[in-house]
């Protein structure tokens, strides 16, 4: 009887806590509100249906950010990674070339799902680090940033070979050069860098969601739905995906009126040197395909500032809110301290005095209605690299 009683008690406890077994997300919307709970369903990026810890369902309209509660955002994947033209990257297990596409499988998606991406949408396949490579992240970024007319492989011993990719399977890769076709064993290849057509441009999707998965994979979906703990969607390249929601760590929802601050044209940046006159620029110091590390999390997009700067952005009363996150870089900001002010038309609307590497990352969401000009004033010591991530301007409702 005692065993039966304990079994019934365990069953009742398990049923009562069923919702808590599902991943809990913190969702922030365009109005600046923040709510947490389980994701039940979504038919598009405009409304998420959720359930709070007490089992009550609710909806959150206009989501902007979605993150797993108490989970760090993982760094970019290191090995067996396919990098795409739009700077997305996806990890793979098995990769083969079929006609003019790459076909692969990945543990990021539901088991047994086979995916296909056209070659023209790909620019780099990183298999593993080559011998003697000290800074893999910098080397990878250089290859991704370069414009190539031919394909290139980097062997495990760091030797480079140029040519045209003819075939790729689980065992060999064949490259055609002026001397003819040459095959290489896959375990001898570290990187395949694909020739890029500089004139190839993809039409920008006005509404999309950018995902970061537990493996570090980054994917941008043109459309998606969520039901039964699975996100089904289509990537910018037309690839259909099915992702268990438990694998999602972070998401940014881009709408027609959602603009990353670094995409604005009317920007002025003044960098105050310790020695020498100020340096002025009309663009933010944006870096792609790099890790923006803050307190263990790696944010997928943003820009960084070093030392003291004044950033001025013309808003022309077009936006209702400015939101994002900032913090000192985990590697290059350990010695930094800073005073930071956000100003709307010259009036301070938020400030942080004595902010340091030991401080918590700051998630901000500031009203900008009727604001003509936004300014960010940063007074920082040398060695104070600050990362500014997911900084979005949201249009007026």
The answer, yes or no, to whether residue 394 has pLDDT greater than 70, is yes
- Comparing 2-68 with 72-256, is the CATH topology the same? yes
Q: Quick one: fold of 258-395? A: Jelly Rolls (2.60.120)
Least confident of 121-130, 134-143, 283-292, 350-359: 283-292
DSSP codes joined into one string, 126-179 = E-SPPTT-S-HHHHHHHHHH---SSEEEEETTS-EEEEEEEEE-SSEEEEEETT
Of 20-24, 110-114, 297-301, the one with minimum mean pLDDT is 20-24
What is the radius of gyration, based on Cα positions, of the chain? 23
Residues of the chain above pLDDT 70, percent: 92
Give the pLDDT confidence score for residue 200 in this predicted structure.
55
Judged by DSSP in three states, 226 sits in: strand
Q: Is the pLDDT of residue 16 over 60?
A: no
Residue 255 has pLDDT above 90, yes or no: no
- Tokens, residue 128: 């593993």
Q: Decide if domain 2-68 falls under CATH 2.30.30.100.
A: yes
Query: pLDDT by residue (tens digit) across 206-242?
Result: 678 999 999 999 999 998 999 999 999 999 888 999 9
CB-facing half-sphere around the CA of 306: CA atoms within 13 A: 9
The CATH code of domain 72-256 reads 2.30.30.100
State residue 14's pLDDT score. 37
**For 182-206, what is each residue's pLDDT tens digit?**
999 999 999 999 987 655 555 566 6
Cα separation values, 63 from 79, 249, 250, 344, 382, Å: 32, 15, 12, 24, 37
- Mean pLDDT, the chain, integer: 88
Contact status, residue 158 vs residue 131, Cβ threshold 8 Å = yes
C-alpha to C-alpha distance for 56 and 59, rounded to whole angstroms: 10
Domain boundaries, the chain: 2-68, 72-256, 258-395
78: helix, strand or coil: coil
pLDDT (tens digit per residue) in 73-102:
999 888 899 999 988 999 999 999 999 999
pTM, 2 dp: 0.89
| Other beta carbons within 10 Å of 74 | 18
- Give residue-wise pLDDT tens across range 292-325: 999 999 998 889 999 899 999 999 999 999 999 9
């Amino acid at each position: 009887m005692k065993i039966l009683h304990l079994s019934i008690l365990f069953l009742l406890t398990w049923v009562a806590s069923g919702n808590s077994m599902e991943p809990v997300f913190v969702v922030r919307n365009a109005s600046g509100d923040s709510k947490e709970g389980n994701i039940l369903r979504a038919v598009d990026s405009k409304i998420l249906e959720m359930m709070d810890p007490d089992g009550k369902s609710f909806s959150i309209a206009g989501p902007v950010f979605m993150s797993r509660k108490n989970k760090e955002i993982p760094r970019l994947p290191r090995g067996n990674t396919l990098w795409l033209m739009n700077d997305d990257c996806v990890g793979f297990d098995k990769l083969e070339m079929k006609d003019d596409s790459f076909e692969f499988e990945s543990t990021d998606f539901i088991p047994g799902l086979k995916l296909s991406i056209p070659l023209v949408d790909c620019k780099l396949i990183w298999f593993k680090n080559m011998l003697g490579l000290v800074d893999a992240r910098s080397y990878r970024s250089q290859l991704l940033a370069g414009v190539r007319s031919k394909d290139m492989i980097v062997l495990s011993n760091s030797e480079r070979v140029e040519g045209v990719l003819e075939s790729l399977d689980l065992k060999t890769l064949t490259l055609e050069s002026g001397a003819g076709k040459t095959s290489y064993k896959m375990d001898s290849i570290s990187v395949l860098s694909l020739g890029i057509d500089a004139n190839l441009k993809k039409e920008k999707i006005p509404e999309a969601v950018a995902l970061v998965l537990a493996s570090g994979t980054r994917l941008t979906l043109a459309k998606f739905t969520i039901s039964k703990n699975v996100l089904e969607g289509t990537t910018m390249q037309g690839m259909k995906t099915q992702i268990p929601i438990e694998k999602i760590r972070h998401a940014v929802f881009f709408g027609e009126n959602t603009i990353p601050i670094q995409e604005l044209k009317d920007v002025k940046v003044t960098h105050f040197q310790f020695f020498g006159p100020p340096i002025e620029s009309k663009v933010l110091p944006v870096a792609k395909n790099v890790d923006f590390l803050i307190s263990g999390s790696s944010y997928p997009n943003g820009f960084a500032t070093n030392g003291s700067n004044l950033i001025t952005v013309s808003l022309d009363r077009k936006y209702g809110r400015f939101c994002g996150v900032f913090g000192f870089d985990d590697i290059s900001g350990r010695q930094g301290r800073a005073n930071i002010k956000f100003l709307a038309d010259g009036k301070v609307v938020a400030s942080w005095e004595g902010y340091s590497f030991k401080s918590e990352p700051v998630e901000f969401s500031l009203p900008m209605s009727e604001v003509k000009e936004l300014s960010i004033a940063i007074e920082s010591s040398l060695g104070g690299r600050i990362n500014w991530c997911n900084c979005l301007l949201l249009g007026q409702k």
